[in-house]
Homo-oligomer: A and B are copies of this chain.
Amino acid sequence: MTKPVDKFERVSEIARRRGFFWPSCEIYGGISGFIVFGPLGSILKRKIEDKFRDIFLRRLGLYEIESPVILPERVFKASGHIEHFKEPMVECMNCKRKFRADHLLQEAAGISPMDSERMSLKEIEEAIEENGVRCPECDGELSEPRYFLTMFETTIGPYSDVVGYGRPEAAQGIFVEFRRLYEQARGKLPIGVATIGHALRNEISPRQGPIRLREFTIMDLEFFFDPEEPGCPLLSEVKDEALRLVLAESRLRGSEEPVEVTVKEALEKGYIKMEWQAFFMALAKRFLMELGVPEDKQRFIEKLEWERAHYSVQGFDQEVYLDRWGWTEVSGHNYRTDYDLKCHMEESGVDMKVFKETKEVERTEVSIQPIMARIGPDFKGDAQRVIELLTKVKPEDVEESLKRLGFYNLEGFKILPEHVRIVRRRITERGRRFLPHVIEPSFGSDRLTYVVLEYAYSTKDGRVVMRIPRDLAPVQVAVLPLVSKDGLPEKAREVYSLLIDEGFTAQYDESGSIGRRYARFDEIGTPICITIDYQTLNDDTVTLRDRDTWRQVRTSIKELPQLLRGFFSLKLEFGDLGKPVE
């Protein structure tokens, strides 16, 4: 029983053979979850990242920073990753293989991802028993499920006690630097800061290919804004963009039918809570369209409460339809509120608040002053700790509890009215101090690279043509002498040098018949083949062949640089490049 060859298999075969991507370390048997982007793939991937930079950063005046992949433990303690970034795992008692428990329940017991992802360890254990799930490899009995921390751990420096982790997202490297970034932006909001770089997730069972990797490239954009001024002034640029939304309420009713609404409608109807989130979702849709994914192969699926990351209050996944896996996440859009800045402020003790001038306002500040003369004798050795804890609670809560109950429970210490003085002061303020809120669009560029290839894959007359959008093509131009004699190679070399000097990515090729060479360049998605023939020697003109239509035009060599620049910056179409050849 062989499965039919799907697009993933076809694309992967070309990817391996021609140099887009393949499994890392094949000579050592491969290493699950790690891939290599080859000579063609690395350029394609970088061009996708550069397009992200162009659409999300340069055009909007937002920033990029490059921060380390390895960060110290405290960062992830603060961010909640050490507590939350784990997956349920079971081990086969017989062959000792390990599996993600929720995936196993999906595959072996048909439990939906929606249900299996919300299960507790106990519920997983019961579901395994009830459904008689056994090891898919050797049919052995499975262990009790337990949690596995899916971050890569290491130690920093020769002191073995400084634990570090590979970042599972680039976001934390931005949050911990927020104060500096805010200063550098001269204290203005909103600011947006992105990082494009490698990230690490120690997946229990990585998928084949570039879909679920242990090491991957993340493109995280953290957009900081004042929650009291949440309006997006750029909304008019996207307000009529149509979005296909699969809402949480539909999903709870068991339907994945999308509603199709404009950005404006999505906000008016309250489907999307924040304007900036809607704005970035619209850009994400356009971004994917520029990568070659048509509208009807895209949708946004709203995450259910238990599916959302621990920091998110509303989240949508942008999904693209893939031949093998169906709807597949390509980006996440989360409203992270002030969760992360608050966490780092608490863990580091460093104030992360920003200040914004406003009209003068009067307000009352309530504070607690501990009365040492009573706390000392009553709490003895714990007195220091009690005083510390008192600095961290809300004075209003203490006051209210003392009034209502006559005491306040401070993590087990019973605080009585005689222990503290509640002080009220009238304050005139000239501004507000607050933590910015954050909207985060987040993409994985490995997966996007695969998406581009799957959507570019097509056949014409039984041959593969990779219709990669021309501004993303790894090799822009092939320079081909019609035959490798009579001075044509020399002339072709001249044209090649000209194009290289003008900044194009070109390849020279004289081996094999011209038809075979065209086929070779179609297969790697080279938009233009330039052929040098006998006429070239007479009049300095060459033919240009279009990858997608195989049409040809003739043009003079000296006009090539300008014409090709227009073509690759999408200002000219192929027909504009010369006179049609019969």
> Could you tell me which A residues sit within 8 Å of B by CB distance?
16-19, 22, 24-28, 31-39, 41-43, 45, 54, 58-59, 61, 63-72, 74-75, 89, 98, 148, 152-159, 164, 166, 173, 176-177, 179-181, 183-184, 186, 193, 197-198, 200, 202-204, 214-215, 344, 347-348, 350, 352, 500, 503, 505, 507-508, 511, 569
Residues from chain B with Cβ under 8 Å of A39 in the complex: 63-65, 181, 184, 193
Known A158-B148, A500-B58: A68·B184 in contact at CB below 8 Å: no
State the majority secondary structure of interface residues on A: mixed
Known A58-B505, A66-B36: A25·B71 in contact at CB below 8 Å: yes
The complex places the Cα of A446 from the Cα of B441 at a distance, in Å, of 28
The complex places the Cα of A33 from the Cα of B36 at a distance, in Å, of 27
Q: Across the interface, do B184 and A28 meet the contact criterion of CB distance under 8 Å?
A: no
Q: Across the interface, do B507 and A177 meet the contact criterion of CB distance under 8 Å?
A: no
The complex places the Cα of A26 from the Cα of B177 at a distance, in Å, of 8
The complex places the Cα of A64 from the Cα of B39 at a distance, in Å, of 5
Known A39-B65, A43-B64: A181·B19 in contact at CB below 8 Å: yes
The complex places the Cα of A58 from the Cα of B46 at a distance, in Å, of 14
Residue of B nearest to A508 (CB): B61
Residues from chain B with Cβ under 8 Å of A159 in the complex: 98
Of residues A16, A18, A157, which shows the largest number of chain B Cβ atoms within 10 Å of its Cβ?
A: A157
Q: Across the interface, do B67 and A184 meet the contact criterion of CB distance under 8 Å?
A: no
Given contacts A31-B72, A70-B152, 8 further A-B contacts (CB under 8 A): A24-B68, A24-B71, A28-B72, A37-B67, A38-B184, A58-B505, A152-B164, A154-B154
The complex places the Cα of A176 from the Cα of B43 at a distance, in Å, of 20
Smallest beta-carbon distance A238→chain B, Å: 16
Residues from chain B with Cβ under 8 Å of A183 in the complex: 17
With beta carbons under 8 angstroms apart, the residue of B65, B74, B158 that contacts A37 is: B65
The complex places the Cα of A176 from the Cα of B153 at a distance, in Å, of 25
Residues from chain B with Cβ under 8 Å of A59 in the complex: 500
Residues from chain B with Cβ under 8 Å of A158 in the complex: 89, 98, 148, 202, 204
Known A28-B176, A65-B42, A197-B198: A184·B18 in contact at CB below 8 Å: yes
Q: Across the interface, do B70 and A215 meet the contact criterion of CB distance under 8 Å?
A: yes
Residues from chain B with Cβ under 8 Å of A19 in the complex: 63, 180-181, 184
The complex places the Cα of A18 from the Cα of B63 at a distance, in Å, of 13
The complex places the Cα of A35 from the Cα of B31 at a distance, in Å, of 30
The complex places the Cα of A16 from the Cα of B34 at a distance, in Å, of 35
Q: Across the interface, do A176 and B67 meet the contact criterion of CB distance under 8 Å?
A: no
Residue of B nearest to A59 (CB): B500
Q: What 3 pairs across the A-B complex have the smallest Cβ distances?
A: A39-B63, A19-B184, A37-B66
Smallest beta-carbon distance A523→chain B, Å: 12
Residues from chain B with Cβ under 8 Å of A26 in the complex: 177, 179-180
Of residues A180, A203, A352, which shows the largest number of chain B Cβ atoms within 10 Å of its Cβ?
A: A180
Residue of B nearest to A100 (CB): B158
The complex places the Cα of A202 from the Cα of B163 at a distance, in Å, of 12
The complex places the Cα of A35 from the Cα of B352 at a distance, in Å, of 20
Q: Across the interface, do B67 and A36 meet the contact criterion of CB distance under 8 Å?
A: yes
Residue of B nearest to A202 (CB): B157
With beta carbons under 8 angstroms apart, the residue of B28, B61, B75, B200 that contacts A25 is: B75
The complex places the Cα of A41 from the Cα of B64 at a distance, in Å, of 9
Residue of B nearest to A67 (CB): B36
Known A153-B154, A197-B198: A67·B24 in contact at CB below 8 Å: yes
The complex places the Cα of A202 from the Cα of B198 at a distance, in Å, of 18
With beta carbons under 8 angstroms apart, the residue of B42, B215, B511 that contacts A64 is: B42
The complex places the Cα of A37 from the Cα of B184 at a distance, in Å, of 12
Smallest beta-carbon distance A143→chain B, Å: 12
The complex places the Cα of A75 from the Cα of B25 at a distance, in Å, of 8
Smallest beta-carbon distance A22→chain B, Å: 6
Q: Across the interface, do A156 and B65 meet the contact criterion of CB distance under 8 Å?
A: no
Smallest beta-carbon distance A425→chain B, Å: 29
The complex places the Cα of A291 from the Cα of B173 at a distance, in Å, of 28
Residues from chain B with Cβ under 8 Å of A198 in the complex: 68-69, 197-198
Q: Across the interface, do A348 and B38 meet the contact criterion of CB distance under 8 Å?
A: no
Residue of B nearest to A174 (CB): B36
Known A66-B45, A215-B69, A500-B59: A153·B152 in contact at CB below 8 Å: no
Q: Across the interface, do A27 and B58 meet the contact criterion of CB distance under 8 Å?
A: no
Of residues A58, A152, A348, A352, which shows the largest number of chain B Cβ atoms within 10 Å of its Cβ?
A: A152
Residues from chain B with Cβ under 8 Å of A68 in the complex: 24, 34-36, 198, 215
Residues from chain B with Cβ under 8 Å of A58 in the complex: 500, 505
Residues from chain B with Cβ under 8 Å of A347 in the complex: 28
The complex places the Cα of A365 from the Cα of B505 at a distance, in Å, of 46
The complex places the Cα of A131 from the Cα of B507 at a distance, in Å, of 61
The complex places the Cα of A98 from the Cα of B159 at a distance, in Å, of 8
With beta carbons under 8 angstroms apart, the residue of B22, B70, B180 that contacts A200 is: B70
A-B contact pairs, 21 of them (CB 8 A): A17-B184, A19-B181, A19-B184, A26-B180, A27-B352, A28-B347, A31-B156, A33-B156, A37-B66, A38-B65, A38-B180, A58-B500, A61-B508, A68-B198, A68-B215, A70-B214, A70-B215, A98-B159, A157-B202, A157-B203, A158-B202
